[in-house]
Structure 1
Amino acid sequence: MALRPEKSEQFRLQDFLPAAQESGNTMAAFTTSGLPLLKPILCTYNPHPEFRFLYPKIGAFSFLRKNGPLNYQNSIEIKPSWLGTPWPTSFPVARQCRHWEAGLEAGKELLLELRRFSSDDDRKLPSGLFVSEDPDKLSVKGLRAVENATNAGIYMNPGASKNRMRLLVKSLLAFWLHDDVVETHPEQAGYTAIDEGTAQWSEIIRDSSIRPSATSLHAAELIEEDPDLGRELMQCMLYWFDAMRQTPRTSFTGLRDFLDYRTVDIAAPAILAFVRFANETRLSTAENDDLRPFLALAVDHVILVNDFYSYEKEKRDFETGRCTFIVNTVHYLGESLSVEPSTAKSVALQLLAELEGQLGKELTRLRDSDSLNETQLKYACAVLEMVAGNLFYSMSAPRYGEVRK
């Protein structure tokens, strides 16, 4: 189902609400001085419409609707029922950061900054990001890359301030550009434009007296915004870039072994670092260790959602030679169980429902035991906010759901 914004790009909430829900006050919650706060949603995607499951309400997730420890000033609530689309989850809603326009501008800035590290034919960036006649202008492909990173940022980290959202979008875009290059050309791992732009990061992390050079991608901005969490985020990104230099695995002893591998493959430490940075949440090693079982469940959910919605795209990319391998849970389930993709998708959705039940029970247990301090509880809720946002991002991502001719 394609949902198109008005030509003026002004998003009208009533376009997606049943007539009975329209009222004079409806728009007040979604506009400030006439500017739209809800980002236009261009499509929704249901890769397995045959699956039917009654998702139970889980009381532990009610904080997503403003009754919890998070800062809700930077975000608004999104109910997928407004879009008339399936919402295969027990999460009551997702949230979106208000600062999506700042995210788009930041993504464009990063792409133009990266252009100096690459030419059209050196494979340091995905091809076709810029208009050939005007290299200072982004192509449709370049704009889509920026849109994708912005959507992930605003749905997965809705509590971020305006400047932190700018930096999150830049970081997410750097991640995916690096991934796109290495997926298509594995020999480029370690030699992409992103690798060159982050070459000084290790020194900056180790020695606080070193000032980022002009060619060091947004390091100065990250450190100026938050010296500790900024460096932590940079370290997690470097860890993932290094992991991408390893030869991909093709055999696994079981689903747990596969998911553990995917934990590194999807950059789980960086995803969680993004949450801490967005929510200005600092934890000691001991405080983080208290949450490890809970965080492991959250990461498994992120993996399964990502793989459920991206499977068809990854399959197409493999069949057309755009990538050289598939590392996807739906694909793994199909191969290991010798079942059709539709059955593998059903298994993945059932696993997601079980994970959500476990997440709800674990959060309730942690709350009731009084074993979490205020910072830990805020982080746990922010992680679940990210998990719900990852689902909404995936189901509304044009890169997965757009109609291809």
Structure 2
Amino acid sequence: MSLKRQPGVHYAWVIAGTAMLVVLCVIGLARFSFGMILPGMAADLALDYREQGILGTSYFLGYLSIVAPMPWLAPRLGPRRLCVWGMALVALSLLAMSLVRDYTLLSASYFITGLGSGAAFIGAMTLPSYWFHPSHRARAAGVATAGAGVAILFSGLIVPHTSGAFGFASWQIIWLMFACLTGSFFLMALVLLRNRPEEIGLTPFGRPNGSRGAASDLPPKPIRSGPILLRLGAIYALFAVTMITYMTFIVTTMIDELSVPRATAGVLWSVVGGLSILSGPLFGNVSDRWGHRAGIVSALAAQAVAYALIAAGTGMIGLLASVLLFGLSAWSLPTIVSAAAGDYFGPERAAGVFAILTLVFAAGQVLGPAGAGFLADWTGGFALAYGIATGLNCVAIILCLSLRPPAGSTAATH
């Protein structure tokens, strides 16, 4: 099929938009909407906090399992195959979740969802390294991550108002709806995605020499890659532990601890989703202009305050401020880290490097929900978990301050 560039619109932005749909399905609908669906599932299936945490963790065990071989597989398969194969797996596993009520089968199905999500997400987030020069790479990654925010906004509006039908509970109807949407967008990705601009006679979009805070497409010689990868990995893992704890249990916290009506919790969840659509482009722009370090520190600081407000029990005012801060920074780090992989290591190594970073990200996401669930059962609430999340974000900020900018970047002065 011949794909022509439209006048004035580089096909790279079609790739970024399609990557957004991939992320919308495999991360937004499949995982980050889970926190909105979970209270209904828990009530219908009589799940305690520990079982809720383990169910969420089953997804990340699948995610971790597929991400582990990705440093080797990703460069060989290419981002297009990862996206379309992953989406197909997510659609089928969500369909399975809509049809069963057994806890073990649900956990197994959600494990398979994690397999597909991990593959597709790595594919979607490495596409900007091929299609964009450093001057626009983080912003393009921000467009891709906006898909997760769109899904949260959608789920917050739809989930509370979905009723059971034909003998199925409301949460089963929701998973069925998500499976159908993922299948539809799978067909779009199959048609539109290409691995590289050279496949359709184009060159990457943007300025080859980047801008303030961006590096060239050549791997940086003066900086040793090992320490950079270790620091980025540690920061990304800490972000994963804290972010997914908030995403999984904030709606449960609203309903169980703050006595927020379910419909109101849905509206607040939609606010998180609506604001998070801006988070990727917002912090991607900060990162492109002032460097990855500035982007990461500002995002982690905003989230640390968001967690601290809930941990301190500041009531509805604190909840509203927390939702605002978290929503505006939600998908900031995947945006910046995927761009940093290309800037520090070059486009050819970006897929393998981002797969390694996603592996530690997945490990963090396994620990977050399970640990928070056990702490909640032990203490009777989530305040301690949110307090620990605040401290971990502060540790990540300290690590980030020692992160050197990519070679060729002028961000060192920022």
**Normalization by structure 1: what TM-score?**
0.25
Higher helix share: 2
Q: Which has the higher contact order (CA 8 A, sep 6+)?
A: 2
**Normalization by structure 2: what TM-score?**
0.25
Higher strand share: 1
